[in-house]
Amino acid sequence: MNYPSFDLSVSLARWWRQAFSLRGSVVPETLPRSLVCGAFGVAISALYEQGFTQLHLPFLGSIIPNLVLGLLLVFRTNTAYDRYWEGRKAWGSIINAVRNLARQIWVAVYERESGDRPQKEQALRWLVVFARSVKQYLRQEPLDEDLVALISQSQYQQLQQVNHPSLEVAFWIGDYLQHQYERECLNIYQLNTAQNLLNQLVDNLGVCERIKRTPIPLAYAIHLKQLLVMYCFSLPFQTVEALHWATGPVTALIGFTLLGVEEIAVQIEDPFGRDPNDLPLDAICQVMLRNIEDLIALSPPRP
Amino acid sequence: MGAGGDLRGSVVVETLPKALWFGLWGGAIAFLYKQGFSQVNLPLLSTLIPNLVLGLLLVFRTNTAYERYWDGRKAWGVIVSATRNLGRTLAIGVAAPESSAQAAQTKALYLLAAFALTTKNYLRGEPATADIPPQFLGEEQLDSIPRPPLHLANRLAAYLQSQYRGGHLNESQLATAQTTLDDLVANFTACERIQRTPLPLAYSIHLKQLLLLYNLSLPFQVVATFLWLTPIMVAAISFTILGVEEIGLQIEDPFGRDANDLPLDSLCTMLVDEIEALIRELPLL
């Protein structure tokens, strides 16, 4: 074997640690609900032990076909994951377009006068402003005040007044590119590629908006919750005869497993928030800014 | 022995210890049962986790991981082809008659190869310049730069632009070359995305919890049937399902040095050989 033993023990320890870790797990949300199920189970078993043997109703097992519940549940979680991953890809594509567009503006736009350099730097910072405003928009938060470090006060006020700040910033960038083309600091091919990258930015804004604005249809989400509740509450009647006082704990455990699977979906279906299970958008925007600063620090292209 | 008995790259090493723990647990339950505690026979516990739910979650986890593995491979495929195409454009498209221009051309080709090499190092979390021959980087200082490949892409773009301004490259060639450079950066970003975004914690943690519950409840379901064989059966069953989870864990981040990871070293060696061959041919072109 080529595997050193300490490596193995580290990875095993990590496995066990993760199995019991709370941060990012669904335990905090799921545990109270499953305890309610458990309490109901205890109540049923108490009544059963008091002589209410008519509470033993194994027929309730056919209320909800296991197959139907299982497929609905897993489908719900997988759809939620698809949204999460699509959101991540959209952000990957935004990062990409920002990197490529920044490089092209920096390298391709010809600096004719001394005022051209600051204008170019401003255009690069607009790219970061675009990403940050998309982030704020998806979180339904107002523009963050740190943006003033990247744009002028008047631009900031302008952004606060418009309906959709990201689109406004995209418009500024497009306008800048067109202007550079008109004064012949950019050739037609370069203008074309740059505008395509700008389109890519706006397209991916659209993808994120779609994910944000279209949750899984309510009919689906609600009916699944109803099925889960019915399933969990019908359990004690099926098992009380065999399990007696163990009915409560077993019901709680089953509730935990099933409600947990549903909770995963709830946590990841809107990936743009601030939970431990959401995308690290703040970090992504931070990295973007650092890339731009690195680019600006790079010695200017020789004319 | 064929692939069936191969330990290298298999999940046995990681999975067996865990399976043995569950086997031990099975042994304890079998012992209690033999001692007369017949109430440990609880076949009803099989409803604890619907098999269907666990099975689908598990398989889905492995398939997602494979999708990431394959995405990573595809991204590297594009990095390889974009490096080749841009290398060819740099060697043939740029008119570099004077020897100083030829030196700059050679430098650009080396930087191009360094893009792939630094991408590999970055994805593996190794120092930017590890295993890169000094002539590939020229005077570039990469140690303090957070994402060295992007820096190299900027340098290459600046080189292309200067050749265009100097009239050694026409505008259509420039546009194609810059697009190829975009491809390189796009696929670097794709690799970064795969590496930086593991499966959401909620998913991987709850799946582990389900696996744990499933394995711990197994002995209660089978002890009356298997008696002293319980530990063996429990260990075998938990080995199979934990193994499926382990596959997902192993291939989720495909850029490392494990037996299950992508052969990035050989891809990079191949690219370096090709670029060096191009550089040797430069004077003949």
Nearest by Cα to B19 from B275, B277, B284, B236: B236
Answer whether B205 sits within 8 Å of A26, measured CB to CB: yes
Q: Which pLDDT score, from 0 to 100, does residue B139 have? A: 79
**Residue A78 amino acid letter:** N
pLDDT one-digit tens code per residue, A49-70: 998 888 888 888 777 888 888 8
**B120 and B99 in a common domain:** yes
**Calpha distance B124→B113 (Å, rounded):** 17
**Calpha distance B248→A49 (Å, rounded):** 46
Q: Which pLDDT score, from 0 to 100, does residue A39 have? A: 95
**Two tokens at B87?**
């290398």
**Two tokens at B219?**
């002995």
Asked if A283 contacts A99 with a C-beta cutoff of 8 angstroms, the reply is: no
**B90 and B216 in a common domain:** no
**B280 and B152 in a common domain:** yes
- The DSSP letter of residue A210 is H
**B177 and B277 in a common domain:** yes
**B204 and B186 in a common domain:** no
E strands, B147-271, where?
A: none
Write out chain A residues lying below 8 Å of B160, CB-based.
Answer: 107
What's the gap in Å between the CA of A121 and the closest CA on chain B?
Answer: 15
Domain assignment present for B88: yes
Write out chain A residues lying below 8 Å of B50, CB-based.
Answer: 66, 69-70, 258
Q: Is the dihedral of CA A221, A223, A224, A229 positive or negative?
A: positive
**Calpha distance B61→A198 (Å, rounded):** 35
**B146 and B132 in a common domain:** yes
Domain assignment present for B183: yes
- Point out the residues of chain A with pLDDT beneath 50: 1-6, 301-303
Nearest by Cα to B52 from B223, B214, B275: B214
Q: Could you tell me which residues come within 8 angstroms of residue B46 by beta carbon, excluding any fewer than 6 positions away? A: B217, B221
Q: Which pLDDT score, from 0 to 100, does residue B212 have? A: 92
Alpha helices, H only, chain A: 5-19, 27-49, 66-108, 116-138, 153-161, 165-182, 188-213, 218-243, 247-268, 281-297
**Calpha distance A247→A259 (Å, rounded):** 18
Q: Nearest by CB to A257, which of B150, B153, B210?
A: B210
- The DSSP letter of residue A240 is H
Q: Nearest by CB to A1, which of B13, B17, B200?
A: B13
**Calpha distance A83→A302 (Å, rounded):** 45
Answer whether B185 sits within 8 Å of A100, measured CB to CB: yes
Domain assignment present for B222: yes
**Calpha distance A42→A240 (Å, rounded):** 9
Angle between helices A247-268 and B201-226 (to 10 degrees): 150
Domain containing B203: what range? Answer: 7-40+199-252
**B160 and B102 in a common domain:** yes
Domain assignment present for B73: no
What's the gap in Å between the CA of B142 and the closest CA on chain A?
Answer: 12
Nearest by Cα to B58 from B250, B198, B204, B260: B204
**Two tokens at A240?**
């009380």
B18 torsion bin: left (phi>0), alpha (psi -120 to 50), beta (else): alpha
Domain assignment present for B57: no
Q: Which pLDDT score, from 0 to 100, does residue A300 have? A: 55
Q: Which pLDDT score, from 0 to 100, does residue B116 have? A: 95
What's the gap in Å between the CA of A137 and the closest CA on chain B?
Answer: 22
**Two tokens at B77?**
């495929």
Domain assignment present for B47: no
Using alpha carbons, list the distances in angstroms from residue A225 to A26, A228, A236.
16, 5, 18
ipTM given for this complex? 0.82
**Residue A199 amino acid letter:** N
Nearest by Cα to A68 from A192, A226, A215, A186: A226
How many structural domains comprise chain B?
2
Name the residue in chain A with its Cα closest to that of B208: A19
Answer whether B202 sits within 8 Å of A100, measured CB to CB: no
Q: Which pLDDT score, from 0 to 100, does residue A218 have? A: 87
Substitution target in A78, A96, A191 with the highest count of B β-carbons within 10 Å is A96
**B106 and B96 in a common domain:** yes
Write out chain A residues lying below 8 Å of B14, CB-based.
Answer: 8, 11-12
Write out chain A residues lying below 8 Å of B206, CB-based.
Answer: 25-26, 260-261, 263-264
**Calpha distance A156→A120 (Å, rounded):** 18
**B143 and B183 in a common domain:** yes
**Calpha distance B236→B73 (Å, rounded):** 33
**B248 and B125 in a common domain:** no
Q: Which pLDDT score, from 0 to 100, does residue A204 have? A: 96
Substitution target in A107, A181, A186, A235 with the highest count of B β-carbons within 10 Å is A107
pLDDT one-digit tens code per residue, A209-245: 999 998 888 888 899 999 999 999 998 998 888 888 8
**Two tokens at A159?**
């952004």
User: How open is the CA angle A249-B21-B237, to the nearest 5 degrees?
Assistant: 80
Q: Which pLDDT score, from 0 to 100, does residue B5 have? A: 67
**Calpha distance B219→B45 (Å, rounded):** 10
Determine which helix (DSSP H) or strand (DSSP E) holds B209, and give its type and residue range: helix B201-226
**B86 and B144 in a common domain:** yes
Q: Nearest by CB to A24, which of B150, B192, B202?
A: B202
Answer whether A277 sits within 8 Å of B171, measured CB to CB: no
What's the gap in Å between the CA of B71 and the closest CA on chain A?
Answer: 12
**B270 and B152 in a common domain:** yes
Domain assignment present for B13: yes
Q: Could you tell me which residues come within 8 angstroms of residue B178 by beta carbon, excluding any fewer than 6 positions away? A: A104, A108, A190, A193, B157, B160
Per-residue pLDDT of chain B (285 residues; tens, 9 = 90+): 456 667 777 888 889 999 999 999 999 999 999 998 888 888 878 777 788 888 989 999 999 999 999 999 999 999 999 999 999 999 888 887 777 788 889 999 999 999 999 999 999 998 888 888 888 888 788 888 888 999 999 999 999 999 998 888 888 899 999 999 999 999 999 999 999 888 888 899 999 999 999 999 999 999 998 889 999 999 999 999 999 999 988 888 899 888 889 999 999 999 999 999 999 988 776
Q: How many CB pairs under 8 A join A and B?
A: 190
- The DSSP letter of residue B136 is G
Domain assignment present for B98: yes
CA dihedral in degrees (B205, B210, B215, B220; nearest 10)? 150
